[in-house]
Structure formats: structure tokens, C-alpha cells
Structure 1
Amino acid sequence: MNFFEYQDKARRNSGLLVGLFTLALILLVGLTTLVAAAAVSYSRGQAFSPLAIEQLLGWQTVGYIALTIVAIVALGSLYKLQQLAAGGKVVAESLGGRKLNIAPQGPAEQRALNVVEEMAIASGTPVPDVYLIEDPAINAFAAGYKPCDAVIGLTRGCIENLNRDELQGVVAHEFSHVLNGDTRLNIRIVGLLNGILIIGLLGHWLVRGVYPNSSNNRGRIPLFALGLALMVLGYAGTLLGNLIKSAVSRQREYLADASAVQFTRNNAGIANALKKISGYSTGSNLSSGRAAEFSHMFFSSGLKRSFFNLFASHPPLSKRIARLEPSWNGLYLNERSSTAQTQTKETNSGSTIHFVDSAPFQVALEAVDNSIACPSAQQVQYGRQLLESIPAAILQAAHDPFIARALIYHLLLHRGESERETQMVLLKKIAHPAVVREMYKLAPQLKALPDNARLPLLDLCVPALKALVPQQYQVFKRNLIKLLRSDGKIEIWEWALYRVLIHALEESPDRQRLSNKKGAGNDASRFLIAAIAHAGNSEYLPAKRAYEQGLKFLQLEVTPLPSRKDIDLQHLDKAIAIASQMKPLEKPLLLKALVYTLNHNGIIKAEEIELLRAVADSLDCPMPPLVLKEN
């Protein structure tokens, strides 16, 4: 199953999840109705029979009970989902997390950040915000609706007790959840469970508020009894919800373990991390009071084992380890046995991984099916090598919210000398003088970077730019738009980088650019194919042939090629916004059509591969770099 098939299945699973919670809600309404009928029967001194509900309550009362329960659950769920609308950072901050990206403290935090950045480069995604949870437990989590708002959370015990291979396995596991859409489903589970939990909380508040006392018991006892009943019902509903959560989450943990091995080609890394969780005194149990709410998001269960392990959101550690290491001897790693291993030097395969200068047409085509959201071990190693090759001054700038703007300005400068000079004059007028000075200072090192480093460098800047206050960000965005429009035409390469950046920084899609017009998806595809055709060909006739190749692959009617001057920022942004809303199984067809459009004599050039990756990123289809291994 490739990325697009998995995304399509995830959409169906979301519908199944809603269906299961609807069933739980129906059962909850039924239980509430039974309790209400039993209370009425008891007050009349009658023997209670479930068959006598209509006589005891009447169908109108049953309807009111159902509407009340549904309203309470719906409001509770909507409230929680609104709280989580900002993405994964809400989860991380509620657990007491501290963001590491801008100012990591000490070698352990820096190593953790490096591992996450390497995995992001290998995956073709923006670097997520990395949060540190000050807890001695060995655990981690991923949260967010999609890669651009995802966060990776790591506990203090995780970054200090795991060696690099083990930490990489854990991070790869969490990236798998992000890439496969598990994190979106996990947030929805939190929202739906909160709606059911609200009933029990209402009962708890009612019991505390009207606890009977000797001075006035007569008016309080019925309310007290109602509170107890709501607590029981809420507890029953929560058990049903947790059972559903367990059923949804367990298999996904096995899949994420397998994906981590696929990414790193090192089953020992993640297996040893699991062994340490079992063998270390700290385990994986978090002390945060919010751990239960987000337990299904963790790498390993964040809660103490109890009688209700039937409802556990994670498979037993022993089963996960046995799947990773079939020959495992059943022994865990404790503080004493793993000290030497933890202190071992980081190993390197000795192989050099290179970004391809060009790719055969068939290789690029197959990459759409098999590489998107599925980085290989070679791509992970390439991410590490590329990160190590970037000069320290540029890396430091990428992690600074102020100077990161200078890097982005330079990345979006036109390749032509005259156009670049025009843009530089404009920047001196509109950008902060200190930012412009930093850009000039870093320019020699930035010019020396290969083209294939531009997109990863932009992705590295994302966490720092997210730290800009809203007013600073709006000024920065306006400056970027002015920079793109400065020469009266849009260079597709500049726009692609701009689009990747905005897609990563802005959490909600540009809704006003969407269209309900019939055939809007086809029109958007035509326009993107036309833009790519012009990008790869400076002359009209070759561009026309490339455009027609793309249309024919999509089986669209061949229409006249829009002129180069019609490819403007507004229409490009609208086309990509509409295309991003396509169904999962439609997106690979568009990307393959772009490959056909970029094809020149059976070869796709390196800069064209990067352009394809940038468009794929904007469609929420993270495409890893194409690499070659040399021994």
C-alpha cells in the first residue's frame, strides 16, 4: 500500500471512527434512558422492567433525553476540537513542553533536534516544532493535523537514556504517524472522547456542589443521585470510547514500528528503545495529569498498567519487540546492562549519498508511487550528510527568527543578474536594514550551496519563522510577494519555494481561493501543467508539446497553452489551493502528469525534480529527495 492508498484508507477510517463513536453514543443514550426509567419506577415503588420504558417515560421524554445527551457530547467534542485547531503545538504545550528548535540547551537537546531535522529532510517535509517534556520517562509523541502543523515531542528520559540509533528509531516511528495521517485521526479521537467524558464531569461537578448535609438534605438528595448517575454513565461511555481508541490505535503502532525499520534499515534501534522502556526504572509513564487524555499518541503507553489493559492504546512491549526481533531472548535492557551501549560512538555506514543530477523518466515516475511519504535508509543518511555539509553560520541563521528572514529573501532572488539587482534595490527599501545586512553577510556561503540544498534549507527555517509575532509575519509575507512581483513576471522556481514556505507557515488553507465550479479540479490541473511546461522550456513550441503530454496523460481535452504572461501569482495560488483539495487517489495522477510535462528526452533534470518536490509538498504529498548511493 503506497501513501495515496493509505491516505484514502485513512479517510475511510475516519468515517468508521465517527460511526463507532455514534454507536457508543447510541448505547450511552440507551443506558441513560434505562437509568431514568429505573429512577421513575423506584420513585413510584414499582418493580422496574426495561419493557415498560414507554409507560414510565413516554417516547417524548425519551426523545428529550436523547437530544440532551447528543447535545452535551457534541458541544464537548466541538469545544475540544476547537481547542486543538492550532495543531500539535496545543498538545505539546498542554503537556508542559518547551520548544527546542530555536535554542537547544546542551548536547542531548542538540542531538535530538539534529535527528528530527535529518528525518524531515529525508521525508521532504518542513521541519516540525520539537518539544521537550521535562519528565524522566522514556517516551515520545507526534501530534498535528498534517506535516505543516505537526510537532514531535520527546521526554527528557528519551533524549538522555537512548543512544543515537535508538533515538532515530523512535523519531522515525513518530514521523511515520505524521506521514500516514495517524496524527489527524488521533486528534479527532481526543475531541470525540472529550464529548463523552463531559457527561461524567457534569456528574462530578453536580455531586461536589450538592453533597448532602444535615441542615438541608431533602432538596439535595435528588440532585446528588442525578450526579452519581451521570458519573456512572460518563464512566461507562468513557470505557466504550477507550475500547474504540484501543482498537484504532494498536494496529497503527505495529505499522509505525515497521515503517521506522524501513526508514532506518535498523530494527535494533527501535527494538532496543522498547527494551529500555521495559528494563529502566523510569519506564514510559508520564507524570503529567494530561497524559491519559493523549495516551494513544505516545510512542509507548504513558500510563501505569492496570486492570483495564483491555483498553490499552498500545500493544504489549514484548509483542512489539518480538515482531522487530523474532530471535529476541526475552531479556530487557536496564541501566547497568545498557551503559556501555549508550556510550558507544555513533556509527556511519561509510557510504556517500548523493542527490541525483538527473533522473530517468521512469525513475521519477515510480518515485511518485513509491517514495512519497516513504523515505528510505539512503535518504535518511542523505539528510544527515546534507545537514552536516551546511556551513555553521547558515544553520545558526536558520534557527534564528530574525536572521531566517534573510535566508528566505536570498533563496527567492531571481537567477538573472538584472532581475536580481532590481530585487536587491527593492529589499533595501522594504525590509529591515539589519536583515538586509545579514543577507549580504551570508550571501557568499549561500551562493556556494548546491541547488538541491535550497528546499531543505527553507524547511529548516520554518520553526524559526513560526516564532515571528503576527505583525512581523504579515510584513515578511508582504515583502515576499513584492519580491516575486518586482520584475513584472513570476518565475515558477521562485513561486514554488514561496508556496512551500506559506503552506508550512499558515495552518489553514486559503479558502477564498477554492471554487465549487464544476470542473474546477481539471482547470487547476491544466494551469499547473501549463506553468510547469513554461518552466522547463524557454521557447513556445517545446512548451506546447510538454503541455500536451501532461494533458494526454490525464486524458483531458488538449486546449491552447496559456501564454507565459498569464502565469501570475494569483492564478498559481488559486490552482494549487484547488488541487490540494483533490481526493487522495487523484493527486498521484496530477503529479505523474507533471512528470510527463517535465520529461526531456527521457531525463528529468535535478532542478526539475526539486520543482516537482515543491509542488508535491504544496499538495500535502511530501516527496523525499532522489538520491544515489556510492560505496
Structure 2
Amino acid sequence: MDFFSEQDQARRSTKLLVALFSIAVIVLIAITNFLVAMTLWLVNEQIAGNYQAYQGALDTLVYQETLGLTDYISLQRFSLIALAVTGVIACAVLFKWIQLSGGGKRVAEQLGGKRIHPNTSDDNEQRIVNVVEEMALASGMPVPSVYLLDKEIGINAFAAGSTPADAVIGVTKGCLEQFNREQLQGVVAHEFSHILNGDMRLNIRLVAILHGILFIGLIGELLLRGSAVRSYRSNRNSKNTQIAVLGVAFLVIGGLGRFFGNWIKSAVSRQREYLADASAVQFTRNPQGISDALKIIGGYGPSATVQSTSAAEMSHLFFGQAVNHINGLFSTHPPLASRIKRIEPNWDGNFIVREPRKAVHEATHSAKETLFNSHHSPLNPVVGAAILTAETLANGTHHTVEQVPGGLSLSLSQHVHEPFSAIAIIFNMFLSEDVDIREKQFGFIQQSKFAGIILQIQQLEKNIDILDNVKRLTLIELTVPALKCMSKGQYSIFYKTLLLLIRADKKFELFEWCLYQVLRHYLDPEFGKTKLSRSVHKKVNAVEKEFQLVLSLLAHYGVNKLDEKQRAFNRGAYAAGFYTLALLEEQQFSIDSFVDAVNQLANCYPLLKPKLLKALRDCATHDNAVNAEELEILSAVAAVMDSPVPLIGDLK
């Protein structure tokens, strides 16, 4: 699956969405003009003998003699109504956009979701946390927070957010109760594909835009309620009748808006679900998992229905059809049978029947079998080590460090799920080997007032020191969900302390920058500091200087001999389509200029990003080996570009 092509397709779908929305608004303006004219004409007929009493209120809208319907349609009134309708819709869209700007967690909270803490003691919750970690690391994406809709017995799940960094995965209670681990893998992989395909940002825009269209109907409801209250309190009903008629008119407009909105939403959403199903099979290498998940939904009484009051406007975010529609035209998801047939062509047509509130009890399997089966699992040993350790902890089984594959200690794997320990792990990674500087850094940590943090750092120190930089990056990614559990105040202190640790030696080293960028990019959105990249650069020539700088730095860190550096640089430059670029000398760039260059690369269009990442990969692998520094650079650049980490085995 070419996820970058799909991101570009999602971007073009956004343009289609805006075009359809514009057409819908124009149609609503025309209908609004007609209904306002009709309303004024009816009101004029009703109060024909009482113009003097209403002259002050109606002076600009009606004339002093009997008029026909067409007399109420004029260019001036059309312009005023167009301006009013557009303004109301724009304000409603802006309000909704601001409301959802907090990232995926805002969507999850609006749906009634509660964050599952990574150190949860509930077996079902721990299982979904482990599956999400597994899929994130296997796909080279940041580990998202997981939210549980604990009031929903329907089987469903969703991914929400503006970028991979602020994405969350949400699951219903029914999903946890009814699915085994293999089926959860399929569902979570489906949601991860929405993240990678660029569907999340499209879906959030869809929610905001449709809210604007539907807002007109809400105005009609308010007018009708207001007129009813006024009629109850007063005998003067003529004015109330006007308000009621206008309310009905707005309700009609709102109903038409709802029609257009739901049609647009379903048209944009349905095909993306087929793509996500196919991507899930690619991720897990196990079509049976997602196929069985869909069969269970088909044979389950509550199906995928979500009862939340926000379910209707968010229905296109979900794994299954969250809101039932009598007319299939407005369904946001293809029929279950159609989805299953695409995954399993020989399906016999029988769903798997399940009853509500009866959790699935999996047959006992070896965690090692589940995670490292070559047919079913896409995981590498480092990822598998982290997930196996988490499963081991959840089951209360004890193993020695040597028994955990990949070299990650049981102690570290346990501590990544504890917010306090996660902070200690991160601080530990920035400690200097110089005794004097290290003592200074401990002073900064002491000032942070995280009580007992120094003792925790010292207890974890030996386990962290033995890790190479590749495993340190994996460890950082695993700490992200726990670090997101900090309060804003704690994060502010954490962030300031981190900068003090980095600046303690008065040098800003590349490894420190890489770790810092990964952390900042993954954590800032959680605490309201999101800065989205913009698709600005369409052609590679637009970022020639920036790419030259990043590629030069990568070449210098990859090998020692000058001729080898030149060959590595040339291979990357040719892969990107540059044939006259020169390798920059080390004194020609700084960390600051490197940071600026990477931020510019982040503003490339989706289809340009893979070309640049593959070129960087080619530079790093020119000698058939990738060292820790090269992988750090690739990981940090990919994080800033909101792209999957360019794993060597995956980019071809």
C-alpha cells in the first residue's frame, strides 16, 4: 500500500469536499431566498390591514401595498441573505474547528471516551493498550493514547486527530468484550491505516464543515421554540406566527442542509473504508482477524451502533456503521457483507453470532507464538520484545532479562507505562557522561520538584546504559502515552527541565536534537502546542537547499572516509532527482540550520515526502549498513514530517 499516494488522494478528497460544500451552500442560499420571500409574502397577506403597527420592524423588508411573491425577490435582498447565510455557516464551521483543534482527544472526549492509562490493571484494557503499541511500532508511527467508550455496548472503534502526533485510538466497551486479540489487531490496524492515509484530518474537516450546514436547522428549532414560548405567554399571536413561519423555513433549509451534508459525508467516507480494510490485512498479514471482527458485528444484536449524542456527526470516523440509516445512500460505511467478501472471497455468508455483555475468553496461547508467528505478525524483534514484555506483565508471569527477546529488560518495559517512571527514563537519556556536568544536571532535576525522581533515575540507570541508540528510540516511543498523562503544569516543568539538561554542557548535539524533536513533536499536541505543517512545496526543486543540508549531515554521520561520504551523498541526491548537488562541509551547517531545513521539508506535499525519505534512506544504506546515528536522523526527520519512520526493510 502506497500510503503517501493515499495521503495525496485524501488531500484531493478535501478539495472535492470543499467543492461539494460550496455547491451545497449556493443551493441553500437560493432556497433560503425563496423561502424568505414566501414567508414575507404570507406574512404580508396575513397582516395586510396592520402595516402601520409593524412599519418600524418591516420597513426594509415589505412594501406598503399588496405585492406578489416575485416582488419579494430582489438582488439587494438576495445579496443580504447570501451574506447572512454564508456568515452564519462560516461562524459555525469556525466554532466547530476551534472546538476540535485540541486533537483526537477532544473528539474522544466529546464521544464520551475516557483515557485508558497505560498502567491499567484491567486485563481487557491492557490488551488493547498492548495491541496499539504493537501496531504503532510496527508501522513506524508514534504510539497514540487509547480511549474507552465505556457506556457503549455496540462493537466499534475509531481513530481521530489532525496529525499522527495528536492521534488517538478509541474503542467501545463492546469491542473489548467481544473481540479476541487477533480481531483487535485487525480493527486497530484498520484505524492505523486511517492515520497513515491522511483520512483523519479529512474527517475532522468534514465534521466542521457539516456542522456549518446543519447549524441553519438548529436556528430554525430555536425560532420555533421561541415562538411557542411567546405564544404561551402572550395573546398577541401575529408576531409569533411570523417567527414560527420563519422557524419552519429555517427547519426546511436545515433539513436540506442535512441531506446535502449526509450525502457528502457518505460519498467521501465509503471508499476510504475499503482502503483501510485492505491496509489492515497488509499490516497484520492476517485477513482472518479483521474478517472475523466484521462477522461478529454482523451477528451481534447491538451491531456497531453508538448511542452518544455526537455519534451522528462523528459517524464517518468509526470502524463500523455507528448510526443506522434507512436509506443506504447516507450510510458512511459499505455493507458488512461487501467488506467481508473483499477480504475473504470464499466466505459462506454466515455471521458469527454473539450475545451482549459476554466477553470473549481466548484460548491460551503462548505470547511468543502470538507475536512472532511469521505468517500473522509483521513485528521486528525490538517491537516484539516490548509487547511480549507487556503481555507477560499483564499475566503476572516472571522472566529474567535474558528471556525477553530484543534485549529490553523486564524492568524497563514495566516502567514505560508509569508516568513518573517514564519521566525518569527520559531525563536519564539526556544525562552527560562528564561527572561535573552530570552533577549540574542532577541539580536541575532536583529543582524540578518531581519528588523522588532522582532515586528513580538511579534505579533505572543501569538498564538504560546498556541499550544502544536504536533501542533508546524504541523506548522513547513506548513512554509517550504515559508522558501524555501529565498535567499541563507538569509538562511545562518537564519541558523546561529537559531544555536545561540539554544546555548543561553548552552544546546541542545531534543525538539530543533527535530525541528532543521526537518528544516535542509527539507531546506538544497533547498540551495545546500543535503547529501543523502546511502543504506548500509541490516540486523537489523548491527544497533543494534544505535537502542538500540534511543529506550532507546524514552522509557525514554515516561514514568516516571522505570518498565514502561523497558516494553516500551522491546516491541520495540522485535518488531525489538532483544531479549537480555538492556535498557540504561540516562547518557549512549548524544544528539550527539543520532544524530549519527539516521544518521546510515537513511542508512538502504528500507525494513529495516519500521521494525525499527514500533518498535519505538510500544515502544511509549505501554501504549496506545503517548505524545508530543514521537511524536517529531518519527517525527525527520522519517525525517532524508527520510520516512513518523510514524503516530500512519497508522503503523500497
Common topology (TM > 0.5): yes
Q: Deviations over 1:320-379 (max 9, x none)?
A: 122222222221112379989743234668599699xxxxxxxxxxxxxxxxxxx99423
| SS of the residue 1:169 aligns to | helix
Partner Cα separation in structure 2 for residue 227 and residue 498 of structure 1: 55
Structure 2 residue corresponding to 1:567, chosen from 590, 595, 598: 590
Partner Cα separation in structure 2 for residue 281 and residue 354 of structure 1: 33
Counterpart of 2:161?
A: 144
Change (3 A) 1:197 1:347: farther
| SS of the residue 1:601 aligns to | coil
Q: For structure 1, which segment, 572-581 or 66-75, has the greater mean C-alpha deviation from structure 2 after superposition? A: 572-581
| SS of the residue 1:403 aligns to | helix
Partner Cα separation in structure 1 for residue 239 and residue 81 of structure 2: 22
Counterpart of 2:600?
A: 578
Residue 130 in structure 1 maps to residue 146 in structure 2: yes
Answer whether contact 2:166 2:522 (CA < 8 A) is retained: yes
Answer whether contact 1:354 1:627 (CA < 8 A) is retained: no
| SS of the residue 1:154 aligns to | strand
Change (3 A) 1:513 1:328: closer
| SS of the residue 1:302 aligns to | coil
Partner Cα separation in structure 2 for residue 504 and residue 527 of structure 1: 24
Letter in structure 2 aligned against 1:158? C
Residue 619 in structure 1 maps to residue 641 in structure 2: yes
Q: Deviations over 1:573-618 (max 9, x none)?
A: 2222111111222222322332343245343346534532332222
Letter in structure 2 aligned against 1:604? V
Partner Cα separation in structure 2 for residue 59 and residue 343 of structure 1: 69
Partner Cα separation in structure 2 for residue 190 and residue 380 of structure 1: 37
Q: Deviations over 1:103-134 (max 9, x none)?
A: 42411111111111111110111110100111
Change (3 A) 1:257 1:124: same
Give the C-alpha shift of residue 11 in structure 1: 1.4
Q: For structure 1, which segment, 457-466 or 394-403, has the greater mean C-alpha deviation from structure 2 after superposition? A: 394-403
Change (3 A) 1:627 1:602: closer
Structure 1 residue corresponding to 2:185, chosen from 160, 168, 183: 168
Answer whether contact 1:124 1:617 (CA < 8 A) is retained: no
Partner Cα separation in structure 2 for residue 616 and residue 227 of structure 1: 52
Give the C-alpha shift of residue 67 in structure 1: 1.1
Counterpart of 1:447?
A: 465
Q: Deviations over 1:399-433 (max 9, x none)?
A: 2222212111223446xx44xx4552232111136
Partner Cα separation in structure 2 for residue 524 and residue 484 of structure 1: 25
Q: For structure 1, which segment, 263-272 or 197-206, has the greater mean C-alpha deviation from structure 2 after superposition? A: 263-272
Partner Cα separation in structure 2 for residue 275 and residue 385 of structure 1: 31
Q: How does 1:298-317 map to 2 (within 5 A)?
A: 298-303=318-323, 305-317=324-336
Q: How does 1:400-419 map to 2 (within 5 A)?
A: 400-413=418-431, 417-418=433-434
Give the C-alpha shift of residue 532 in structure 1: 1.5
Structure 1 residue corresponding to 2:498, chosen from 474, 480, 488: 480
Answer whether contact 2:165 2:522 (CA < 8 A) is retained: yes
Q: Deviations over 1:262-294 (max 9, x none)?
A: 111222211111121121223221221111121
| SS of the residue 2:351 aligns to | coil
Partner Cα separation in structure 2 for residue 487 and residue 539 of structure 1: 28
Structure 2 residue corresponding to 1:424, chosen from 438, 441, 451: 438
Letter in structure 1 aligned against 2:288? A
Give the C-alpha shift of residue 5 in structure 1: 1.6
Counterpart of 1:183?
A: 200
Answer whether contact 2:568 2:620 (CA < 8 A) is retained: yes
Counterpart of 2:282?
A: 262
Change (3 A) 1:63 1:188: same
Counterpart of 1:279?
A: 299
Partner Cα separation in structure 2 for residue 107 and residue 100 of structure 1: 12
Structure 1 residue corresponding to 2:125, chosen from 94, 109, 112: 109
Counterpart of 1:379?
A: 379
Counterpart of 2:64?
A: none
Partner Cα separation in structure 2 for residue 354 and residue 337 of structure 1: 31
Letter in structure 2 aligned against 1:330? G
Answer whether contact 1:142 1:297 (CA < 8 A) is retained: yes
Q: Deviations over 1:126-165 (max 9, x none)?
A: 1101001112111111100111000000111111111111
Answer whether contact 2:179 2:360 (CA < 8 A) is retained: no
Q: Relative contact order, CA 8 A, sep 6+: which one is greater?
A: 1
Q: For structure 1, which segment, 287-296 or 540-549, has the greater mean C-alpha deviation from structure 2 after superposition? A: 540-549
| SS of the residue 2:626 aligns to | strand
Partner Cα separation in structure 1 for residue 534 and residue 201 of structure 2: 24
Give the C-alpha shift of residue 250 in structure 1: 0.7
How high is the sequence identity, in percent, across the aligned residues? Answer: 40
Partner Cα separation in structure 2 for residue 502 and residue 177 of structure 1: 23
Q: For structure 1, which segment, 342-351 or 484-493, has the greater mean C-alpha deviation from structure 2 after superposition? A: 342-351
Structure 1 unaligned residues grouped into runs of 5+: 47-51, 356-374
Structure 2 residue corresponding to 1:465, chosen from 475, 479, 483: 483
Change (3 A) 1:235 1:512: closer
Answer whether contact 2:162 2:201 (CA < 8 A) is retained: yes
Answer whether contact 1:121 1:624 (CA < 8 A) is retained: no
Counterpart of 2:364?
A: 345
Residue 397 in structure 1 maps to residue 415 in structure 2: yes
Q: How does 1:30-179 map to 2 (within 5 A)?
A: 30-43=30-43, 55-134=71-150, 135-179=152-196
Answer whether contact 1:189 1:245 (CA < 8 A) is retained: yes
Q: For structure 1, which segment, 591-600 or 147-156, has the greater mean C-alpha deviation from structure 2 after superposition? A: 591-600
| SS of the residue 1:603 aligns to | coil
Counterpart of 1:335?
A: 354
Give the C-alpha shift of residue 442 in structure 1: 0.6
Q: TM-score, normalised by structure 1?
A: 0.87
Answer whether contact 1:24 1:240 (CA < 8 A) is retained: yes
Answer whether contact 1:5 1:584 (CA < 8 A) is retained: yes
Letter in structure 2 aligned against 1:580? A
| SS of the residue 2:158 aligns to | strand
Q: How many residues align?
A: 597
Letter in structure 2 aligned against 1:181? G
Answer whether contact 1:379 1:627 (CA < 8 A) is retained: no
| SS of the residue 1:219 aligns to | helix
Answer whether contact 1:29 1:66 (CA < 8 A) is retained: yes
Q: For structure 1, which segment, 290-299 or 521-530, has the greater mean C-alpha deviation from structure 2 after superposition? A: 521-530
Partner Cα separation in structure 2 for residue 455 and residue 154 of structure 1: 27
Structure 2 residue corresponding to 1:591, chosen from 613, 620, 634: 613
Change (3 A) 1:322 1:559: closer
Give the C-alpha shift of residue 438 in structure 1: 1.1
Residue 320 in structure 1 maps to residue 339 in structure 2: yes
Partner Cα separation in structure 1 for residue 376 and residue 544 of structure 2: 33
| SS of the residue 1:259 aligns to | helix
Answer whether contact 1:500 1:614 (CA < 8 A) is retained: yes
Q: Deviations over 1:450-487 (max 9, x none)?
A: 54322221111112222323333233223333333433
Partner Cα separation in structure 1 for residue 210 and residue 623 of structure 2: 55
Partner Cα separation in structure 2 for residue 482 and residue 163 of structure 1: 45
Change (3 A) 1:413 1:599: farther
The alignment yields a C-alpha RMSD, in angstroms, of 3.2
Structure 1 residue corresponding to 2:213, chosen from 196, 199, 205: 196
Q: TM-score, normalised by structure 2?
A: 0.84
Structure 1 residue corresponding to 2:546, chosen from 521, 524, 527: 524
Answer whether contact 1:142 1:183 (CA < 8 A) is retained: yes
Structure 2 residue corresponding to 1:296, chosen from 304, 316, 319: 316
Counterpart of 1:221?
A: 241
